[in-house]
């Protein structure tokens, strides 16, 4: 779809002072009262006008949901400076240069699906300020990045604390905060009458702070493709310290508007091309509250409560009665952090989540859903000289009061008749161990291994009408990070996932012993493995800064004759960018490549077609001005090659698009 939010344009805030993590000294543990902080400053943050942010110092009292140290190289940080440099107003577009990022764009109810390392079914989980949301698909592709201060993307599926299962990675969104008064106004205009206007203001410091934001986004979409959109968003946050030991915050987001579902083109089937549909109107609300109580220098209790409510009115042509897709969820997370010794940190975590969808939604409309999830975990971390060791255990279980649909990879549409009521899912156990070892003040090794269980879909049976086995997954991450003040950093990570007794669709549905329809599945073996390379430089003296990442991976399924490649997953994904500053001017270039893959989704069943295999090039020219050169005017172009590549059958990219605008800070 042709909209400004897709433009990965660039403009660096040249005069903004760096506000990222505290500068790191030599790579040795630093003893502070009641805590141990380890790490070194990221070389890309050294020098003036850096685009990039590094991982924060490893302080488990301040960040109790921090994952294993062995997963540090598998965690990407997109900070406020980088978000403004990328100039992408929407969340999923802002994350497209994360190593291994893969976005499937189409005009259906699920407009965009984002994944990393080829991890799909399920896709990555989303959190806001540490609060996990089971259903976030509709929120993600309209969510404004202008209201965020940072995006933390865990690319590995080996997380233990962030989510109940961590099967596809996790994206934690940090709301925008302020330490001084600031007003930011953004306005832009581009191809297909695409406009975006947003205002943010906030203040903070000491005992109290607040932030507010509001915006409007419109596009006509590609001509004669039923792709118009109108989206209004608002954001509010307050945080304060009513006492020295107590910190409170409340964050809320709202999304309203209407969205036409873009029509398909060949090679999509005639039935798919004939569908003219829209969500008109939709409403989406998210609220997160957090309380932090630090009773001593060695004990912190953190409580996070969350709520979300979504209503989407679905309309179709030929005319039919409008239908409502409504769902809501609420949850509570409690984390207790203790330091029984200066070099040891113990964390206990519990999570509860309830998701209810009485109308059904997306591909399993109109089948209701009512799920209750409970999770408990314990993690211990020990610092031993140059080593940081971490081990943990998680138990999770879900109660299905009612559920009318779930996806087995490659066949969600064929499971529409499956229904589950009043059933407990099998309890799921997960064990994790990780470590980091400092080789020198510039080089660190990382490693993490996780073993866990994945419940078989309820109501699914094998061809012998027996319950499928519980799947077990073993996940491995091995990484190296090197940092050099004169250059920047290089991160190399090897990863692998082995799935035993994975649930695979058996291409059949029949009536089960109780007279209810069941989906037939089989237990099989699946494995995926790959290598990630990521380098980010500092801002050099001549005004140049750049990044480059590449992921080479392979997913395989065991067959009678051995292992065969899953051709629905690309084998290579690359991204890169360059910023060149000359005084008040800056030229930015960005490139994205996704290798070929294939599937028959929306096309003729059984005849897979090749997709992707593109190189998307973008360019942006910015002029900085005003006090401290914090404001800019810019022009840019996306897809300079005017390539109409497709990531989903029937939904080609819009080709070359142009835009221009201003971003003002007062």
533-551 pLDDT tens trace: 999 999 998 999 999 999 9
Mean pLDDT of the residues in the chain: 89
408 has a pLDDT exceeding 60:
no
Judged by DSSP in three states, 57 sits in coil
pLDDT tier, 241 (very low <50, low <70, confident <90, very high otherwise): very high
Q: Please, are residues 77 and 63 in contact by the beta-carbon 8 Å criterion? A: no
221 has a pLDDT exceeding 70:
yes
Strand (E) or helix (H) holding 81: helix 80-86
Lowest pLDDT segment from 9-18, 140-149, 366-375, 451-460: 9-18
605-630 pLDDT tens trace: 889 999 999 999 999 999 999 888 89
Instruction: Classify domain 4-665 by CATH number.
Output: 2.40.170.20
95 has a pLDDT exceeding 50:
yes
**What is the per-residue pLDDT for 564?**
94
**Proportion of the chain above pLDDT 70, given as a percent:** 89
Burial of 128 from C-beta contacts in 10 A (0-12 / 13-18 / 19+): buried
1 has a pLDDT exceeding 50:
no
Burial of 528 from C-beta contacts in 10 A (0-12 / 13-18 / 19+): buried
528 has a pLDDT exceeding 70:
yes
Lowest pLDDT segment from 138-152, 338-352, 413-427: 413-427
**What is the per-residue pLDDT for 515?**
65
201 has a pLDDT exceeding 80:
yes
**What is the per-residue pLDDT for 247?**
97
Rounded Cα gap, residues 32 and 37, in angstroms:
7
The stretch 454-458 carries a mean pLDDT of 84
Lowest pLDDT segment from 230-239, 292-301, 453-462: 453-462
459: Cβ–Cβ under 8 A, 6 or more apart, which residues?
418, 419, 420, 512, 516, 518, 519
pLDDT tier, 261 (very low <50, low <70, confident <90, very high otherwise): very high
Give first-to-last CA distance, the chain, whole Å.
33
Judged by DSSP in three states, 317 sits in strand
Q: Name the residue ranges covered by the structural domains of the chain.
A: 4-665
411 has a pLDDT exceeding 60:
no
pLDDT tier, 508 (very low <50, low <70, confident <90, very high otherwise): low
6 has a pLDDT exceeding 80:
no
pLDDT tier, 23 (very low <50, low <70, confident <90, very high otherwise): very low
Instruction: Report the 3 state secondary structure along 260-271.
Output: EECCCCCCCCHH
26 has a pLDDT exceeding 80:
no
29 has a pLDDT exceeding 50:
no
SS3 content of the chain, % helix, strand, coil (to 5): 5, 60, 35
**What is the per-residue pLDDT for 404?**
76
For residues 205 and 244, the model is more confident at 244
98-112 pLDDT tens trace: 999 999 999 889 899
569-579 pLDDT tens trace: 999 999 999 99
**What is the per-residue pLDDT for 518?**
67
For residues 497 and 53, the model is more confident at 497
């Amino acid at each position: 779809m042709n909209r400004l939010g897709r433009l990965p344009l660039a403009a660096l805030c040249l005069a903004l002072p760096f506000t990222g993590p505290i500068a790191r000294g030599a790579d040795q543990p630093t003893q502070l009262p009641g805590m141990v902080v380890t790490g070194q400053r990221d070389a890309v943050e050294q020098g003036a006008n850096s685009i990039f942010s590094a991982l924060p110092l490893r302080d488990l009292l301040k960040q109790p949901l921090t994952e294993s140290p062995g997963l540090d190289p598998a965690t990407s940080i997109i900070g406020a400076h980088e978000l403004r440099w990328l100039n992408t107003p929407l969340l999923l577009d802002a994350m497209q240069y994360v190593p291994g990022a893969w976005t499937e764009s189409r005009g259906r109810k699920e407009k965009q699906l984002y994944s990393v390392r080829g991890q799909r079914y399920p896709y990555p989980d989303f959190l806001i300020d540490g609060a996990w949301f089971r259903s976030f698909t509709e929120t993600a592709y309209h969510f404004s990045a202008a209201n965020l201060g940072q995006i933390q993307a865990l690319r590995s599926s080996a997380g233990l604390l962030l989510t109940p299962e961590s099967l596809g990675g996790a994206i934690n969104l940090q709301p925008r905060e302020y330490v001084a008064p600031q007003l930011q106004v953004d306005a832009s205009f581009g191809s297909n009458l695409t406009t975006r206007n947003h205002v943010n203001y906030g203040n903070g410091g000491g005992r109290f702070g607040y932030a507010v934001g509001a915006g409007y986004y419109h596009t006509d979409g590609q001509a004669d493709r039923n792709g118009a959109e109108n989206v209004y968003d608002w954001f509010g946050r307050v945080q304060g310290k009513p006492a020295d030991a107590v910190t409170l915050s409340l964050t809320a987001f709202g999304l309203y508007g209407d969205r036409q579902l873009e029509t398909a083109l060949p090679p999509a089937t005639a039935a798919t091309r004939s569908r003219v549909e829209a969500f008109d109107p939709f409403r989406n609300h998210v609220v997160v509250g957090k309380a932090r109580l630090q009773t001593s220098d060695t004990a912190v209790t953190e409580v996070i409560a969350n709520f979300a409510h979504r209503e989407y009115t679905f309309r179709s042509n030929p005319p039919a009665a409008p239908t409502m897709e409504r769902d809501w969820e609420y949850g509570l997370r409690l984390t207790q952090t203790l330091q029984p010794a200066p070099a040891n940190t113990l964390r206990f975590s519990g999570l509860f989540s309830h998701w209810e969808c009485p109308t059904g939604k997306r591909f399993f409309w109109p089948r209701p859903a009512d799920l209750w999830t409970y999770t408990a975990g314990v993690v211990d971390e020990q610092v031993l000289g140059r080593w940081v060791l971490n081990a943990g255990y998680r138990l999770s279980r879900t109660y299905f009061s009612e559920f009318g649909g779930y996806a087995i990879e490659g066949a969600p549409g064929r499971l529409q008749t499956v229904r589950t009521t009043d059933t407990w899912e099998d309890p799921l156990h997960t064990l994790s161990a990780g470590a980091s070892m400092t080789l020198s003040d510039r080089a660190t090794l990382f490693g993490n291994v996780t073993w866990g269980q994945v419940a078989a879909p309820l109501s699914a049976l094998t061809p012998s009408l027996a319950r499928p086995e519980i799947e077990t997954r073993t996940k491995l991450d091995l990484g190296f990070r090197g940092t050099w003040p004169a250059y920047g950093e290089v991160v190399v990570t090897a990863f692998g996932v082995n799935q035993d007794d994975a649930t695979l669709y058996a291409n059949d549905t029949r009536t089960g012993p109780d007279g209810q329809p069941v989906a037939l599945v089989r237990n099989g073996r699946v494995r995926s493995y790959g290598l990630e390379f990521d380098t980010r430089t500092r801002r050099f003296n001549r005004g140049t800064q750049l990044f480059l990442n590449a992921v080479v991976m392979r997913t395989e399924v065991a067959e009678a004759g051995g292992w065969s490649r899953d051709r629905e997953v690309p084998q290579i994904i690359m991204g890169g960018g360059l910023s060149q500053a000359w005084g008040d001017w800056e030229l930015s270039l960005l490139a994205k490549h996704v290798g070929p893959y294939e599937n028959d989704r929306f096309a003729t069943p059984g005849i897979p077609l090749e997709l992707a295999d593109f190189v998307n090039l973008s360019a942006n020219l910015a002029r900085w001005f005003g006090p401290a050169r914090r404001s800019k005017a810019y022009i840019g172009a996306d897809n300079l090659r005017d390539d109409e590549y497709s990531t989903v059958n029937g939904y080609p990219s819009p080709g070359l698009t142009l835009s221009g605008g201003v971003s003002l800070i007062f």
